[in-house]
Structure 1
Amino acid sequence: MSEGILAVLLSIGLMSGCFFLFKIPAIPLTKSDRKLPGLSVIIPARDEEESLPNLLKSLKKQTYRPLEIIVVDDASTDDTALIAAAYDAKVLSTEESELESGGKSAACWIGAEKAKGEWLLFLDADTYFVNDRALESVADQYLNQQDKGLLSIQPFHEIKKVYETASIVPNIMVMAGVNRYSLLGGQIEGRGAFGPFLLTTRKQYEESGGHRTILDSHMDDIELAKRYKETGLPVNVFSGKEVVHFRMFPESFSQLVNGWTKSLIHGSEGTNPLVLLSIALWIAGICLSTTILIGTLVTFGPTGILLPSLIYFFYCVQFRWLMNKVGQFPLWTAGFPVIYIIVFLFLYLFSVFQVKILKRVRWRNREIKF
């Protein structure tokens, strides 16, 4: 392949990396001077004794205090229910419901049925607020959109262990997959929402059918957003940077693999073709730049790698730019984009195998069938 063609391909790859995740809106930290309605916080939880205290502590510190906090215990085998009660949360159980099965959607519906607030906020147990005015700021943003429809936030990802860096590219893909943040902006129709944080009014939740209509779905964020759109209600999505963070898979690498396996393949199915193409070209550019750098080093030694190193450096800088949009990751990870691309491809192919071929995934000691 000629040098001219290689230069064109590498340039296209770099430009594509700027296309699919160009700008993500975030919730600005504000002090609201408006009267805020009663808020019910609903937290579906299964075996979340490690993560739950962080969320409940952060809720206690909020300037906008919820009317109630409801933790719906989804057949946990640990002390999730006891911990929730210790923080004065109202504890419900999927096992004591008339619903035939449990799961996240069932837990959300059970909590919504018992909630008293005018607004409903569904939070994953591994989320937490990083500023005392975070919830007040989110509420103010919701009022700015006349409390219409669904306000959803993808929490900013934090990590503590090296294996957790394997979530870098999947997190980038989750954000890109909603089709809202590309260089074309609103010219591409958005899809879905983010399951870890969903804010709505009770009235609109009931109008859309809520989680009751998606009890069998394993992608509640995508399906609930679809119900809202079918009802003629807007769906607005934001980054949680400086407001809501989470630590997704703190227990082990196997937890990380299982967690991404159950969602990656379904999450990618509705991604816009232009977004998919730009992602593919970006991945190809990273792999090509790495191959050229290694090949040049082997063939010509250190004296011939100046230009390939410069190109590879540009891709590393871009990789850092992208990861900073979705989480807080160590600086050194930017130097190994191809490693994280390979990890992502492994997770994606494993997801295809488990979901499409075996049609089952194991998560939180429960077998999920597809």
Structure 2
Amino acid sequence: MTASEVINLAIGIGAIVIGIIMFWSLPVPGVTSRNASSLPFLSIIIPARNEEGRITPLLQSLQEQRFKQFEILVVDDDSSDNTAAVAENYGATVLKNNGSGKSSACWLGAEHAKGSWLLFLDADTRFTSVDGIQNLLHFYQGNGARGIVALQPFHTVERLYEYLSVVFNIIVVVGMNLFTIWGSRFKTAGSFGPCILCNRDDYFLSGGHKGIEGAIMDDLALGQAFLDQNLPVRCLGGKGIISLQMYPEGLGSLIEGWCKSFAVGSKSTHPVVMLMVIIWISGSLTTAGALISSVIERDPAMMILSGALYILYTFQTAWFARRVGNFKWAIFPFYPILFLFFAGIYLYSFIRVNVFHSVRWKGRNIKV
């Protein structure tokens, strides 16, 4: 066994250990049997642009909630499809935005909201439990009903290409800085975006979405706006409460969406967490390379050691991924493809942001 082979094995082993430290846990709001009578009236605000084909599951899941003390405000952000008609058919109040983006749509919804608590939801989410809203509200109430509680929805996979989002889903969660072995030692990068709960007074005190209009990563910017007012930002997993299917329109949409998000969002990740992410990703590719090299060179000892390490990486990646989505085990023996895709899109995103200063999303060119 050569020195380089020993180094590659050491890198792989170290990266697996780093992975455990990096993604120690992902808590979710607990289930409660408490009575909903103590909960205030809630305004649910859904910004929507051309969501005719995706908003129905969310609206259906809202109708099925046992907690009923809420209004639904769908803010139609200059849609060219039947988003507004679909929302009205489910009893939602539809507000017309002038098409200047998600932040302005959320702000318009908040201005018209009657509730003392505000719940901002992406149109492609859906509640997976009839007590989902109630459990979320009780968690918020139990933690002082201040600041933000944000959930990262559980990713439900329906098509093969969606598995290419595996590493992105893991890094989105890890990049919030809160899920290492040290818990909340590092300052949060901001807020998750698809499901944000806050109270009305704190929202307007922070400046809300109006104060962050124009930000590409509005979720991170909104969380920072709350932190600037010394308001807490709590981020949790959404498993058992809320889910989403990411980019069902196809592979092009998936690439466009992650390109928009990643190079900009990574700037908010703590340097220590970012270093761990880099080591973990590098270790995945080093481990795969060591196994391929041992097979080519027909080195039995190296094949056994690198093969064992490859299997460990397979199980660790699957373990992490199944915290954030319903990814099937069968895909993870091919994990190097998932990491290579992540690296390629990250590089593409970095170039778009730092060289061309422009990304594209939902038919719009966004300057960065």
For Structure 1 versus Structure 2, the TM-score category normalised by the shorter chain is over 0.9
Question: Which residue number corresponds to residue 223 of structure 1?
Answer: 221
Conserved in 2, the CA contact under 8 Å of 1:70 and 1:92?
yes
Question: Which residue number corresponds to residue 15 of structure 2?
Answer: 13
Conserved in 1, the CA contact under 8 Å of 2:54 and 2:123?
yes
Cα distance in 1 for residues equivalent to 2:358 and 2:135: 40
1:1-80 counterparts in 2 under 5 A? 2=3, 3-34=5-36, 35-80=38-83
Tell me the secondary structure at the aligned position of residue 148 of structure 1.
coil
Cα distance in 1 for residues equivalent to 2:100 and 2:277: 36
Question: Which residue number corresponds to residue 119 of structure 2?
Answer: 121
RMSD of aligned alpha carbons: 1.4
1:170-319 counterparts in 2 under 5 A? 170-300=168-298, 305-319=303-317
Tell me the secondary structure at the aligned position of residue 131 of structure 1.
coil
| Match of residue 143, structure 1, among 136, 141, 144 | 141
Structure 1 unaligned segments of length 5 or more: list them: 96-100
Cα distance in 2 for residues equivalent to 1:215 and 1:206: 14
Cα distance in 2 for residues equivalent to 1:53 and 1:164: 20
Cα distance in 1 for residues equivalent to 2:302 and 2:21: 31
Conserved in 1, the CA contact under 8 Å of 2:28 and 2:237?
yes
With 135-144 and 216-225 compared, the bigger mean Cα shift is at 216-225
* Total equivalences in the alignment: 365
Tell me the secondary structure at the aligned position of residue 268 of structure 2.
coil
Q: CA deviation at 1:305?
A: 2.3
With 5-14 and 153-162 compared, the bigger mean Cα shift is at 5-14
Q: Which amino acid in the other structure matches residue 18 of structure 2?
A: S
Distance 1:182 1:88, change over 3 A: same
Conserved in 2, the CA contact under 8 Å of 1:289 and 1:308?
yes
Cα distance in 2 for residues equivalent to 1:295 and 1:269: 35
Cα distance in 2 for residues equivalent to 1:54 and 1:302: 53
Q: CA deviation at 1:21?
A: 1.1
Q: CA deviation at 1:234?
A: 0.5
Question: Which residue number corresponds to residue 346 of structure 1?
Answer: 344
Conserved in 2, the CA contact under 8 Å of 1:31 and 1:133?
no
Conserved in 2, the CA contact under 8 Å of 1:72 and 1:107?
yes
Question: Which residue number corresponds to residue 102 of structure 1?
Answer: 100
Q: CA deviation at 1:194?
A: 0.7
Q: CA deviation at 1:298?
A: 1.5
Cα distance in 2 for residues equivalent to 1:273 and 1:178: 12
Tell me the secondary structure at the aligned position of residue 269 of structure 1.
helix
Tell me the secondary structure at the aligned position of residue 187 of structure 1.
coil
Q: Which amino acid in the other structure matches residue 74 of structure 2?
A: V
Q: Which amino acid in the other structure matches residue 75 of structure 2?
A: V
Distance 1:312 1:213, change over 3 A: same
Q: CA deviation at 1:303?
A: 8.6
Question: Which residue number corresponds to residue 94 of structure 2?
Answer: 91
Tell me the secondary structure at the aligned position of residue 268 of structure 1.
helix
1:103-158 alpha-carbon deviations (Å, 9 max, x no partner): 00000000000110111100000000000001000011011012111110010111
Q: CA deviation at 1:246?
A: 0.4
Tell me the secondary structure at the aligned position of residue 348 of structure 1.
helix
Q: CA deviation at 1:302?
A: 7.4
Conserved in 1, the CA contact under 8 Å of 2:9 and 2:287?
no
Cα distance in 1 for residues equivalent to 2:261 and 2:365: 14
Structure 2 unaligned segments of length 5 or more: list them: none
Q: TM-score scaled by structure 1?
A: 0.96
Q: Which amino acid in the other structure matches residue 34 of structure 2?
A: S
Cα distance in 2 for residues equivalent to 1:216 and 1:308: 47
Conserved in 1, the CA contact under 8 Å of 2:189 and 2:270?
no
Conserved in 2, the CA contact under 8 Å of 1:32 and 1:136?
no
Cα distance in 2 for residues equivalent to 1:136 and 1:79: 30
Conserved in 1, the CA contact under 8 Å of 2:40 and 2:69?
no
Cα distance in 2 for residues equivalent to 1:251 and 1:157: 15
Q: TM-score scaled by structure 2?
A: 0.96
Q: CA deviation at 1:307?
A: 2.3
| Match of residue 165, structure 2, among 164, 167, 186 | 167
Conserved in 1, the CA contact under 8 Å of 2:9 and 2:290?
no
Tell me the secondary structure at the aligned position of residue 186 of structure 1.
coil
With 359-368 and 79-88 compared, the bigger mean Cα shift is at 359-368
Tell me the secondary structure at the aligned position of residue 43 of structure 2.
strand
Give the share of equivalent positions with the same residue, in percent: 37
Conserved in 2, the CA contact under 8 Å of 1:17 and 1:282?
yes
Q: Which amino acid in the other structure matches residue 126 of structure 2?
A: Y
Q: CA deviation at 1:304?
A: 6.3
Q: CA deviation at 1:183?
A: 1.2
